[in-house]
Amino acid sequence: MSLLRVEAVSKSFGGLKALDHVSLETPASTIVGLIGPNGSGKTTLVNVVTGQYPADGGNIFFNGEDITGLQPHEIAHKRLVRSFQITRVFPKMTVLENMLVAPPHQTGEALVSVFARRRRIMSQEKELARRALDLLRFLEIAHLCDEYAANLSGGQQKLLELGRSLMCNPLMILLDEPVAGVNPTLARKIFEKIVELKEGGMAFLVIEHNVDIVMSFCESIYVLSKGEMVAKGDPSQIQNDRRVIDAYLGG
């Protein structure tokens, strides 16, 4: 059974049809790529799936549940989370503080709990800090835990955003250009971490313009062009698909 299933989703902005009956499926424990030229609708699709934009038509199912029309925070609470094309760290907070902002349903978020459940809050905060540091070690940026996020390189901020997503205990993460502007060595390291997470049971839908990365790490690939899904298949099929060459690879 597919973890994420998008069925005939459409989205228009005025007279522009950004998505035209787009469908895709993502199983659990897999890395699926979503590629296409600029303006093809890739980020729009992620925005619709995660509730940033309402769909004009079609349905979205996650983990066996219809999530069409839910708000972004409601979808995140279903354990479907996303990153953004431009990283959205809190620049004047430390790396560790950025991580601790992410987990939902923290006891200390309710004002009354600050006074009535102080011991529980402290225990939860210690556990979250331990978990955050474990994830930062996994991502190999634990040495930066007390550094302000603004001082991190672009690649380090991408890793921080991935770590912050992991603090939500997701079943699936939608990654919008996770290695854009990142040097090739760190880009491969980021995807090697994604592979490790996939082997642990997590699923990923990845928008990425680095075709070599997509072909190396994604098990299946969907191709959007002008708001339509023009191809799907494994990397070897996609590389040899004339529709993809015409729409994306410039052949």
* Owner of token pair 């895709």: 24
Mind listing the pLDDT tens digit for each residue in 13-57? 988 999 999 999 999 999 999 999 888 999 999 999 999 999 999
Q: How far apart are CA 153 and CA 168, in angstroms?
A: 23
Q: How far apart are CA 201 and CA 195, in angstroms?
A: 10
Model pTM? 0.87
CATH architecture of residue range(s) 2-89+152-249: 3-Layer(aba) Sandwich (3.40)
Q: Domain residues of the chain, as ranges?
A: 2-89+152-249, 94-149
Torsion sign (Cα): 215, 218, 222, 224: negative
Mind listing the pLDDT tens digit for each residue in 137-153? 999 999 999 999 999 99
